[in-house]
Structure 1
Amino acid sequence: MTPDWIAADWGTTNLRVWAMSQSGSVLAAAKSDDGMGKLSKDGFEPALLALVDGWISETTTVIACGMVGSRQGWTEAPYATVPCAATPDRFAAAPTTHANLSVNIIPGLRQNSPADVMRGEETQIAGFLALNPKWDGVICLPGTHTKWAHVSAGEVVSFQTSMTGDLFAAISEHTVLKHSIGSGWDEEGFAQGLDDVISKPEKLAARLFSLRAEGLLHGLANETARARLSGLLIGAELAATKPYWLGQQVAVVGASTLSKRYVDALATQGVHATQADGDRATLAGLTAAYRRFREL
């Protein structure tokens, strides 16, 4: 099996690759836990070849997105400054020793004021726009660092990052609330947390400790505490990003479970967001980047 090119989504913790046809069809897929965070500079090429060596028979183009292009990655792919097209017109070539391997990394995006950066999410934005031509509005990309991007006429105009996923992990694992947060889920608990903080975001810190107190005094279930914590943090995020989503057409792009929580949360504010699959958007974005690369 010889693909026409290879797509790679290379994040901090994982590497995913797809053997692709010229038309953008997936011929094969593979993944590993060789993310950027565990590799030295000379470890990237071996990590990639461990997955794709059998796909290479002549000079093969790899289009990669994500943290592989960060300062700590294989090679730094300079940021493009917004407003700019979601599909790049320049790539960073990674140094390789394999004679038939050409690795090209998609640049991230930067915003000078207020200062912000993204790396990887721009490819999902490009993919969503490729799948939904002439779409204008706001794209929410939930995750460890959730992005809210205003897009218009195929360009990313501005964006804002919220560290909601990081905060959830830090609070639930490294504070006193680690004794109260369990597994499972409670939809009513999520809705209550959301409502509490959207109406009074200034009380977030106090609402957080009440999760511990209610567990001790009133037997608040751990799964309810977990859902309410998520509601509190996503609610605080919605309060902070209101200028982005208020009165806008909104799409939420990402993993299904987390994306649905954002869609549900936005619905409580009268915003009926479109939910889109993150993996599909990533592949569509990588395909758009490959086609752009061939034009250059």
Structure 2
Amino acid sequence: MSDTDWIAVDWGTSALRVWVIGADGSVLDRLRSDRGMATLAPPAFEGALLDLIDAHLPQARVTPVICCGMVGARQGWVEAPYIAVPAAPPVFAQAVRPEVRDPRMAVHVLPGMRQDKPADVMRGEETQIAGFLTAHGDFDGVLCLPGTHSKWARISAGEVVSFRTVMTGEFFALLSGQSVLRHGLDGAGWDDAAFAEAVDDAMTAPAQLTARLFSLRAEGLLHGLDAAIARARLSGWLIGLELAGTRPYWLGQNVALIGDGALTDRYAQALRVVGALPAVTDATRVTLAGLTAARMQMKGTT
């Protein structure tokens, strides 16, 4: 535990992720729990964090703990006010400190970002953007961050100029898990060709989406539509609809995806269907890079 220099925290709605960082910048340990913001009242945050990091806190000094994500929401540990765009991603000097009982740690919560017209907010993604810009400081284009609520951020001169949030992932979860369509989507299979065709269908005729959705149910009943094809179609139609709505962001722009796993792969495939050539950057890596940038800023002020 004496080797701990600081602790990086990504605290989302459903999960808490921690990196214990040594004096040489190496990751000494990676920790995770399912005690996300949605499961905790404000007085419970300190205990949830200590359950993970207690053994890594030196006794003889105060360890900085730098957090991003929904921990700074109004319903979180402490509200960290949003920074309005256009602006560079938030820096350490804009962090907010919750009161803590344990004298071994000083907790700092980074703000999110907001857009007034059209109204939009982000928490956590701004730290990923900051981490991306540490390696791509001259990037001029659009960042797409796939997720339950995907973000599209226009970046220029190191600033977030504007952004939009699209609820595609939540729609997929609701339709596949709670609607009549769920009966034909069971399983883990996938069909790339069906997905690509569905993306093109949604881009060509987005107004047909609601009619197409019920066809999944009907085709399953009448013709035994394979669940892998049905699932790929549903995903393709929804992501294609997202691309149709965000066309002013990605059309003719440099596009980079920040994410990992199957969902990011699907966004990359969908963007290639419409002629974009996105680069892909690992979300975990840039999250830690963004938190590390805040730690470097902290050192510069002490």
Q: Distance in 2 between matches of 1:159 and 1:22?
A: 36
Deviation at 1:124, TM superposition (A): 0.7
CA RMSD of aligned residues (A): 1.1
Asked whether the equivalents of residues 116 and 161 of structure 1 are also in contact (C-alpha less than 8 Å), the reply is yes
Deviation at 1:72, TM superposition (A): 0.7
- Normalising to structure 1: TM-score of the pair? 0.97
Structure 1: any 5+ residue segments left out of the alignment?
Answer: none
Q: Distance in 2 between matches of 1:159 and 1:67?
A: 18
Asked whether the equivalents of residues 196 and 269 of structure 2 are also in contact (C-alpha less than 8 Å), the reply is no
Within-5 A mapping of 1:90-101? 90-101=94-105
Matched to 1:95, the amino acid is E
* Residue 59 (str. 1) matches residue 62 (str. 2): yes
Identity of aligned residues (%): 55
Q: Which residue matches 1:188? A: 193
Q: Which residue matches 1:24? A: 25
Asked whether the equivalents of residues 63 and 105 of structure 1 are also in contact (C-alpha less than 8 Å), the reply is yes
Q: Distance in 2 between matches of 1:259 and 1:274?
A: 11
C-alpha offsets along residues 87-117 of structure 1, whole Å, 9 cap, x if unaligned? 4240010110001211000100000000000
Q: Which residue matches 2:266? A: 261
Deviation at 1:292, TM superposition (A): 1.9
Matched to 1:210, the amino acid is S
Moved more, 112-121 or 180-189: 180-189
- Normalising to structure 2: TM-score of the pair? 0.96
Deviation at 1:217, TM superposition (A): 1.3
Q: 57, 70, 79: which is aligned to 1:76?
A: 79
Deviation at 1:259, TM superposition (A): 1.0
Q: Which residue matches 2:164? A: 160
Q: Which residue matches 1:126? A: 130
1:114/1:22 Cα in 2 relative to 1: closer, same or farther (>3 Å)?
farther
Q: Distance in 2 between matches of 1:214 and 1:191?
A: 19
Q: Distance in 1 between matches of 2:47 and 2:89?
A: 30
Matched to 1:135, the amino acid is F
* Residue 231 (str. 1) matches residue 236 (str. 2): yes
Structure 2: any 5+ residue segments left out of the alignment?
Answer: none
Q: Distance in 2 between matches of 1:236 and 1:295?
A: 45
Moved more, 36-45 or 83-92: 83-92
Deviation at 1:136, TM superposition (A): 1.4
SS in 2 for 1:92: coil
* Residue 117 (str. 1) matches residue 141 (str. 2): no
Within-5 A mapping of 1:178-217? 178-183=182-187, 184-217=189-222
Deviation at 1:22, TM superposition (A): 4.4
Matched to 2:51, the amino acid is A
Q: How many residues align?
A: 296
Q: Which residue matches 2:224? A: 219
* Residue 85 (str. 1) matches residue 85 (str. 2): no
Runs of 4+ in 1 over 4 A off after TM superposition: none
Deviation at 1:24, TM superposition (A): 3.4
1:94/1:117 Cα in 2 relative to 1: closer, same or farther (>3 Å)?
same
SS in 1 for 2:94: coil
Matched to 1:77, the amino acid is A
Deviation at 1:23, TM superposition (A): 4.9
Q: Which residue matches 1:34? A: 35
Q: Distance in 2 between matches of 1:157 and 1:293?
A: 25
Asked whether the equivalents of residues 87 and 285 of structure 1 are also in contact (C-alpha less than 8 Å), the reply is no
Moved more, 187-196 or 160-169: 187-196
Deviation at 1:288, TM superposition (A): 0.8
Q: Distance in 2 between matches of 1:3 and 1:233?
A: 44
Moved more, 71-80 or 49-58: 49-58
C-alpha offsets along residues 200-253 of structure 1, whole Å, 9 cap, x if unaligned? 011111111111111111111111101110000000000000000000000000
Matched to 1:81, the amino acid is A
